[in-house]
Chain A
Amino acid sequence: MKSILLIAASEWRYWLRSHLALAAALIFFVLIIAVSVLTAARMEAEKHARSHQQAEAEETFLAQPDRHPHRMVHYGHYLFRTPAPLSIFDPGLDTVTGQSIFLEGHRQNTVMFAESSASADFGGLSWLSPALVYQLFAPLVIILLGHGCISRERESSVLTPLLAMGISGHQLILGKALALVSFTVLLLLPLIASGAIALANGESVVALLSLFGVYGAYLLIWVILTLLISATLSKRSTALGAMTGLWIGFCLVLPSIAVNITTDAKTVAGKIETDLTMLSDLRKLGDGHNANDPAFQQLRADLLKQHDVERIEDLPVNFRGVVAMASEEKLTKVLNEYAESRMLAELQQEQHLLDYGLLTPVLAIASASRAIAGTDLAHYHHFQREAEAVRFDFVQGLNRAHVEELSYENDINRNKDEASWQRARIDASNWQVLEKFEFQTTNISERVSTVSSSIQMLLLWMLIAFGALLWRGGKIKP
């Protein structure tokens, strides 16, 4: 044990004397701190702006004057997707997905206005975030410090005396690993600062620990791989070249190639394509604006029978409102069916992408990080589902007012003259059907359960790399 500590300590002494190691660590820390501050400022501003817009949208809706209730159904409402607390560390899909959605009767609109559509375009890598710095650049620093830790001893002919002194290959590797692992923990310190801000904004401690855990595991994989290559290749320069090649492959090439394969193998039908398929289904449901549509004959017969009257004019409720309500419900069922199948297809496509996590650990860490931060595809879908629930609730609330507050007679005569136009409206107090909305991430256990496969993938990588290192460590020869 003592010799392991001694080896680790001497490795640290070597780094502290090496300008290269110091410079690399310094550049990394400046980069991560700068990016963390800038991202936190950007996301906080976004959050503030979107909450403000949300409050304004609610106010405007409630401030509408007396109207025909169906007018309010088409007047509609807006929801804004406020960013998750941990988006200051990993904004994830926030930039490439829309921020607001317009809700109205009879339709499910798309979420519009993604930041990426309006931003100055410099390509994908320019959406730099603390998460991306850890995923792409922390491994580079580990490689730089670690590539020589065994091959250096071999090159300077220190390995032979070391081994002759009775230090085993395993002890040597463990000592070097200890040094690199302690350095890795140091690299992760800025993550804690971002986490503390998120904590103050209501994020759970478990989420922070999970985030720390997955990034720790990810960087540990790089530590092990670096040691493995350093122990295997005889020259320091070859080890550095090989690790740089591995870094290019894992971080830049393979994730994008996995995207190519996935989109080629598993396509997802777009919104217009799905809409067109759906329309032929919807045509069978009848037009909710037209109470005489044959699709509503049954409803009419039932209602007349129930109230024991002959004509719909004699019903105690507004039949046009009843039709609007019934058709909205039927329609929503179909809309949701298609929306769900589109979201499922997207999830399956993403799952297919993650299956290539065996090619590179970067895919696994990126997906785990987004999920824990609450900025992944599942949360984007979660937002769409919540928006749909809000939409359905306020539309049906207005339809209920249409049924109960507006008489059938006033309703059908609304276009007769100015006075009847005025009579066909209900009191603005009915607009209170709208509830306050703030988008929240799901609870952390749910978030972690969605990424269990990514976490397993990381563990698998770690096990395989560690196994190879143990095997290699036993065979270290001068």
Chain B
Amino acid sequence: MSTFNALMREIKFTARDRTVVFWMVTVLGLSAISLAFGLAEVKHQQATIQQLLDANQQERDAEFEKLKDWGSAAYYTFHLTYDAPSDFAFAALGQRDVQPWKHRIRMLALEGQIYERDVGNPSIALIGRFDFAFFTAFIVPLVLIILLYDLRASEKTAGRYNLLEATVGQSSSFWFLRAAVRSGALFLCLIATLFIAGMIAGTAVSKLLLAGLWVLIYIIFWTVICFFIAAWRKPGSVILMTLITVWVSTAVILPALSRLAIDKLVPVPPGADILMMQRETVNDAWDLPRETTMNAFFEEHPQWSDYQQVESSFEWQWYYAFQQVGDQKTRDLSTAYQNGRLQRADIAAWVSLLAPPSLLERSLQALANTDLNTSIDYEESVRAYHAALREFYYPKFFLNQPFDKALLKNLPKFEPNQ
């Protein structure tokens, strides 16, 4: 019962401390702001996707007249692919400002299209958004530091320190209780706003609970660090600066150095090389004997190797075959580029275990499907869709099926990842 009484006493005491109340209101307000803007941005991105889908359909309708055969149908029909924001994206917008999440593609060589960057204003991406993940991972520890660094020092200045030490039975548990009440209140401010935003967005409860658990662990982690460093018999300013140095090291310096080291350790081929090789292959094909191109094509598509080519006039079969060969020739470089990015992401995931702010931000982004891996998954889904388009058209080309516009409604539809 005495623990309960002590807890109630601390809560009442904390509620009367104007500085603490000020910080709680601030955290509550900032958390709400970050979430409200996150919800608005997700809504905006969803509207953009819908608008693009409509505009692309209109464009297809307008081009419909131009379609004279299967080849021109494949040439003039563009398809919109996109990665829709998840139901938790409002809390961690992550890579969506720097990585493309929409591509408008057609059946030409994919490597020439997939690295297009339809991303927003770089000045905005550089500063970064104030989303819940950034706020919780980077700002909240600083607030905790301010709230906890001078627990004892402030009582000393107020002249109550010795009295408190003498009256409470076990002094360390008393100070821990006081720290826990402050941290707990801060956690409640965060979690309450997050759950309300989650209800508005219709987020899966399991995701919210998992996010809540991570935030809880994170706050406990920083509370413990603050508590132990604040227990030093040193002036408040030394304790504060030590804690801020811990923050700077884990939030900024370690991530920055790790980024440099990992990028150095895992080289990726320069992106421009992929494009250049693709361009060389596609362009050289015009001058190469057609068998060379067709043979390279048949190697991967033996089912069409019976196809008899006509010698010199322009043929769509040949045209799309060298587009395909362009992708085939670039595959090694392109795969190396993708594997390099994935490997960098993997090492970063391990290193971030040493940098808790990065760890929490990355975990929330993974939960929200806004991390680098999701971005690469989306790229994969575009590749799969492009392959499906080829599967649709190749029989039409090589079996010389008569052109029928009505059959175009059977074109594969892009299904975004869930």
Chain A interfacial positions (CB closer than 8 Å to B):
20, 23-24, 27, 31, 35, 38, 42, 49, 53, 57, 60, 65, 67, 71, 74-76, 78, 80, 92-93, 95-100, 102, 109-114, 116-128, 136-137, 140, 144, 147-148, 235-237, 240-241, 244-245, 248, 252-253, 255-264, 267-268, 270-273, 275-277, 279-280, 283, 346, 349-350, 353, 366, 376-377, 380, 415-418, 421
- Which size class do B's interface residues fall under? 35 or more
Q: Which residues of A contact B396 (CB under 8 A)?
A: none
- Which of A110, A118, A257 is close to B33, meaning CB atoms less than 8 Å apart? A257
Q: Let me know if B329 is at the binding interface, CB within 8 A.
A: no
Q: Which residues of B contact A102 (CB under 8 A)?
A: 112, 275, 279
Q: How far apart sit A416 and B314, CA to CA, in the bound complex (Å)?
A: 10
Q: Which residues of B contact A418 (CB under 8 A)?
A: 311-312
Contact A253 B240 (CB under 8 A): no
Q: How far apart sit A245 and B272, CA to CA, in the bound complex (Å)?
A: 45
Q: Which residues of B contact A23 (CB under 8 A)?
A: 241
- Which of A237, A241, A276 is close to B59, meaning CB atoms less than 8 Å apart? A276
Would you list 13 pairs from A and B whose C-beta atoms are within 8 A, ordered by A residue?
Answer: A20-B241, A53-B272, A95-B126, A122-B348, A123-B361, A123-B362, A136-B252, A244-B142, A244-B244, A261-B37, A263-B124, A272-B103, A417-B311
Q: How far apart sit A136 and B253, CA to CA, in the bound complex (Å)?
A: 12
Q: Let me know if B262 is at the binding interface, CB within 8 A.
A: yes
Residue of B121, B128, B263, B270 contacting most chain A CB atoms (<10 Å): B121
Chain B interfacial positions (CB closer than 8 Å to A):
19, 30, 33-34, 37, 40-41, 44, 48, 51-52, 55-56, 58-59, 62, 80, 95, 98-99, 102-104, 112, 115-130, 134, 137-139, 142-143, 146, 150, 153-154, 157, 235-238, 240-241, 244-245, 248, 251-253, 255-256, 258-260, 262-263, 266, 268, 270-272, 275-276, 279-280, 283, 286-287, 311-314, 337, 340-341, 344-345, 347-348, 351-352, 355, 357-358, 361-362, 371-372
Closest to B47 in A: A267
**Shortest distance in angstroms between B385's beta carbon and chain A's nearest beta carbon?**
16
**Shortest distance in angstroms between B103's beta carbon and chain A's nearest beta carbon?**
8
Closest to B337 in A: A118
Contact A53 B118 (CB under 8 A): no
Contact A276 B146 (CB under 8 A): no
Q: Which residues of A contact B344 (CB under 8 A)?
A: 118-120
Q: How far apart sit A45 and B318, CA to CA, in the bound complex (Å)?
A: 42
Q: How far apart sit A52 and B274, CA to CA, in the bound complex (Å)?
A: 16
- Which of B51, B238, B240 is close to A273, meaning CB atoms less than 8 Å apart? B51
Question: A78-B276, A248-B142, A260-B129 given as contacts; is B134 within 8 A of A237 (CB)?
Answer: no
Contact B120 A268 (CB under 8 A): yes
Q: How many A-B residue pairs have CB under 8 A?
A: 262
Q: Which residues of A contact B118 (CB under 8 A)?
A: 110, 270-272
- Which of A20, A117, A261 is close to B98, meaning CB atoms less than 8 Å apart? A117
Q: How far apart sit A148 and B236, CA to CA, in the bound complex (Å)?
A: 12
Is chain A's interface secondary structure helix, strand, loop, or mixed overall?
helix
Q: Which residues of A contact B272 (CB under 8 A)?
A: 53, 78, 80, 99-100, 112-113
Closest to A348 in B: B121
Contact A31 B283 (CB under 8 A): no
Closest to B44 in A: A267
**Shortest distance in angstroms between A93's beta carbon and chain B's nearest beta carbon?**
5
Contact B237 A128 (CB under 8 A): no
Contact A270 B33 (CB under 8 A): no
**Shortest distance in angstroms between B285's beta carbon and chain A's nearest beta carbon?**
11
Contact A53 B270 (CB under 8 A): yes
Nearest 8 Cβ contacts at the A-B interface: A113-B271, A122-B255, A256-B130, A126-B255, A128-B256, A120-B262, A260-B37, A124-B128
**Shortest distance in angstroms between B358's beta carbon and chain A's nearest beta carbon?**
5
Q: How far apart sit A298 and B148, CA to CA, in the bound complex (Å)?
A: 80
Q: How far apart sit A116 and B345, CA to CA, in the bound complex (Å)?
A: 12
**Shortest distance in angstroms between B295's beta carbon and chain A's nearest beta carbon?**
19
Question: A237-B153, A248-B139 given as contacts; is B116 within 8 A of A377 (CB)?
Answer: no
Q: Which residues of B contact A24 (CB under 8 A)?
A: 241
Closest to B237 in A: A240
Q: Which residues of B contact A376 (CB under 8 A)?
A: 123
Q: How far apart sit A75 and B137, CA to CA, in the bound complex (Å)?
A: 48
Question: A120-B348, A256-B130, A260-B130 given as contacts; is B312 within 8 A of A244 (CB)?
Answer: no
Contact B59 A270 (CB under 8 A): no
Closest to A363 in B: B127
Contact B255 A123 (CB under 8 A): yes
